[in-house]
Amino acid sequence: MQIQSFLSIAEQFKVVFLDSYGVLKNYNGLIHGVRHTIDFLRSRDIIIRVLTNDASRSQLQQAESFHRLGLHDIQEHEIITSGMMAKQFLEQKITNGKIAYLGTENSAHYILQSGLEHIPLRDIDLRNLDDISALVFLDDEGFDWNTDITKTVNLLRHKNLPVIVANSDKFYPVSKNEVAVGTGGIAKLIENMLDRKFIHFGKPDSQMFIYAYDELNSTGNYNRSEILMVGDTLQADILGGNKFGVKTTLVLSGNTSREDAPLQIRSSGIIPDYICESILT
């Protein structure tokens, strides 16, 4: 496994797509040295876009979070979230009834702004589902796992609904050696139980890549060969970039460690074009 210098790779491209968690920040906050790397990319006139599977906050809230961590020049338009994609889908496809959701009130307020009424799963009466028109998995907080996941299964057994998974991440790191179950993992469990396939947003699906690419080419002229995707997770970031047809860099500063990377690459068949310790050198 050849470890290369990120900065020498990045300067070969006109655009760099960056994952957020594990690349720019982690459980301790902003990864040390990231500001220098962002300054380096901007000094080379390399366009930056942050592609994140975080569905709980708007672009503005995401930008403000980076500013609080000390990354002051990340702009709202430079951030693309899976929540944006889910929100667009709901606005276009769900035109009546109530949208049930698993997650926090904050994430529901952001995504479910289409004008339709939304209701937390815990408040649904399974004996009266006539006005429920869709179900959205938003995040892994804001509900009682012990009761609400079971209730979700029974809701979907009783009524055939479109189900939207706003964040496909199955888990996320909470310390150097530990992870927490993500909403994508909960959704996958229920998919397997019911033998159903939900509508997933976020990497590795291509919606965010398409959105970012179209937005870039609305004001410029960029080819996929000029774009580099950088992420810490093979099954999300690297697979998503590979599927979209851009070069990919796996960094070992997040979900994938130096020790585990060779085995994960061999067992998954997901092969990054480059591997770097982080985006710092």
* Average pLDDT score over residue span 269-281: 95
* Average pLDDT score over residue span 114-138: 90
- State how far the alpha carbon of 18 is from the alpha carbons of 47, 177, 241, in Å: 11, 23, 11
The pLDDT tens digits of the residues spanning 249-270 come to 999 998 898 999 999 999 999 9
Helix/strand/coil for 209: helix
CA distance 258 to 276: 9
Residue-level pLDDT at 71: 94
The CATH topology of domain 84-200 is Rossmann fold (3.40.50)
The residues spanned by each domain of the chain are 6-53+204-276, 84-200
Q: What percent of the chain has pLDDT over 70?
A: 99
Residue-level pLDDT at 54: 86
User: In this predicted model, which residue has the larger pLDDT, 42 or 166?
Assistant: 42
Residue-level pLDDT at 150: 95
Listing DSSP states for 59-85 in one string gives: HHHHHHHHHHHT-TT--GGGEEEHHHH
Give the CATH architecture of domain 6-53+204-276. 3-Layer(aba) Sandwich (3.40)
211 burial via Cβ count (<10 Å: 0-12, 13-18, 19+): middle
Residue-level pLDDT at 119: 92
> Do residues 51 and 17 lie in contact, with contact meaning Cβ atoms separated by under 8 Å?
yes
The answer to whether residue 115 scores a pLDDT higher than 80 is: no
* Average pLDDT score over residue span 13-41: 94
The answer to whether residue 114 scores a pLDDT higher than 70 is: no
CA distance 78 to 159: 39
The answer to whether residue 78 scores a pLDDT higher than 90 is: yes
Residue-level pLDDT at 121: 93
The answer to whether residue 189 scores a pLDDT higher than 90 is: yes
Residue-level pLDDT at 141: 85
* Average pLDDT score over residue span 128-152: 92
